[in-house]
């Protein structure tokens, strides 16, 4: 029988994070069969605990080296399970290691709808529920049926239904306890009948430009892919982790006071009537950061929310730039902005 885990010492992580910054893991452990995770975690190198669960490395910044072993779950199974309870589709279970975009396209090809607006988001299926990935008016929580996760501290395999995941804007139960739960698989409830969401950020216009007048979920995904390719730098060409800052959520009165002073500031409804979400991109742009560059650490010229590595920037240099951006937004607007990616080897 093959080993439950593959181990590598002093493993370089530069190609395993989309910022492309250098970092070294004392041990990198890869587990393909999640049913052998408990066994894998008993190997001497992992017995004292792991410092980081690593997916595609597209939502973290190595500001330093991880202080202990790094674990990657590389299972690749995708299986339809039952009919979905509340829709005409099915429950589909995917292993944590399945690349997210490939999963979206595979589901669309199989005739399932829902995930089309989330096409081309980098990363893995296992990481998708952690920050409740979202794009173009859709969040993954709308389709998560259950999350299966192993808890090393208790040795239990948990199954969280949608409510138990406590999803919020770029948030979930898992985000608050990094590495407590190792997500081994996610079950999605996917309808066959589409309910297309076209009213967000140019999707309808893109479909028109593509000559599509009766859009299918697949066509919407193609439109989203085209828009994303134009707007966001490709990490393969220019290191980045997508949006570096979350849109800040403020009490309604504070947001309205800012809007009165800055009428072009985009303000959206928050989680309830009493809160408002502001555009972090607008705030950063207004402070003059778009296209800024300090050596190889910079801000995308196309998108003020995206920090970029022009080549040899270190994680510490990118973090320093991020802190200066946040300080300038705080000084000018009195608004605190926070990073979306997880920081490894540093605190915000």
Instruction: Give the residue, chosen from 20, 57, 215, 339, that forms a contact with ligand FAD under the rule CB under 6 A.
Output: 57
For the question of residue 170 being annotated catalytic, the response is: yes
What mask, x for binding ligand FAD by CB under 6 A, covers residues 236 to 265? ----xxx-----------------------
Indicate the helix (H) or strand (E) that contains 101: helix 100-109
Which of residues 63 and 258 has its CB atom nearest to ligand FAD in the complex? 63
Interacting stretch for ligand FAD, rule CB under 6 A, among 33-41, 177-185, 215-223, 319-327?
177-185
324 catalytic per annotation = no
Active site residue 218: no
Residue 148 Ramachandran class (φ > 0 left, ψ -120 to 50 alpha, else beta) = beta
- Considering only 135, 165, 207, 313, the residue that binds ligand FAD (CB under 6 A) is 135
Instruction: Give the other-Cβ count within 10 Å of 125's Cβ.
Output: 27
Which residue has tokens 């009948």?
193
Task: Name the one range near ligand FAD by CB under 6 A: 115-123, 155-163, 193-201, 274-282.
Answer: 115-123
Coil, strand or helix: which one is 3? Answer: coil
- Residue 315 binds ligand FAD, judged by CB under 6 A: no
Cα gap 74→30, rounded to integer Å = 7
Contact 151, 180 (CB under 8 A): yes
3-state SS track over 236-248: CCCEEEEECECCC
Please list every residue from 207 through 236 that binds ligand FAD, using CB under 6 A.
Answer: 232, 235
Q: Which long-range contacts (CB under 8 A, 24 or more apart) does 222-226 make?
A: 224/116, 224/117, 224/118, 224/119, 224/120, 224/135, 224/136, 225/119, 225/120
Nearer to ligand FAD, 96 or 284 (CB): 96
Active-site positions read 170, 243, 340
Residues that bind ligand FAD (CB under 6 A): 18, 52-60, 73, 96, 121-124, 126-128, 130-131, 133-135, 178-179, 182-183, 232, 235, 240-242, 342
């Amino acid at each position: 029988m093959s080993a439950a885990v593959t181990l590598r010492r002093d493993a370089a992580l530069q190609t395993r994070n989309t910022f492309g910054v250098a970092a070294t893991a004392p041990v990198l452990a890869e587990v393909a069969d999640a049913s052998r995770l408990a066994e894998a975690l008993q190997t001497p190198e992992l017995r004292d605990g792991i410092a980081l669960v690593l997916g595609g490395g597209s939502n973290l910044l190595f500001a330093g080296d991880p202080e202990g072993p790094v674990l990657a779950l590389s299972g690749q199974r995708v299986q339809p399970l039952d009919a979905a309870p509340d829709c005409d589709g099915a429950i589909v279970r995917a292993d944590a290691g399945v690349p997210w975009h490939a999963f979206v396209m595979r589901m669309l090809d199989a005739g399932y709808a829902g995930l089309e607006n989330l096409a081309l988001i980098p990363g893995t299926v296992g990481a998708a529920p952690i920050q409740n990935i979202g794009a173009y008016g859709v969040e993954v929580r709308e389709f998560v049926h259950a999350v299966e996760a192993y808890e090393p501290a208790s040795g239990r395999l948990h199954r969280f239904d949608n409510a138990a995941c406590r999803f919020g804007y770029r948030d979930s139960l898992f985000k608050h306890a990094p590495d407590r739960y190792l997500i081994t698989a996610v079950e999605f409830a996917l309808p066959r009948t589409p309910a297309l969401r076209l009213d967000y950020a140019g999707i309808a216009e893109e479909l028109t430009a593509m000559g599509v007048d009766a859009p299918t979920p697949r066509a919407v995904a193609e439109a989203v892919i085209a828009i994303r390719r134009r707007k966001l730098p490709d990490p393969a060409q220019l290191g980045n982790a997508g949006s570096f800052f979350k849109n800040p959520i403020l009490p309604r009165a504070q947001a309205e006071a800012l809007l009165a002073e800055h009428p072009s500031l985009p303000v959206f409804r928050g989680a309830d009537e009493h809160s408002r979400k502001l555009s972090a991109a607008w705030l950063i742009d207004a402070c003059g950061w778009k296209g800024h560059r300090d050596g190889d650490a910079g801000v995308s010229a196309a998108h003020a929310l995206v920090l970029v590595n022009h080549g040899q920037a270190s994680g510490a240099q990118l973090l320093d730039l991020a802190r200066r951006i946040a300080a300038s937004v705080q000084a000018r607007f009195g608004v605190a902005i926070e990073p979306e990616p997880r920081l490894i080897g540093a605190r915000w």
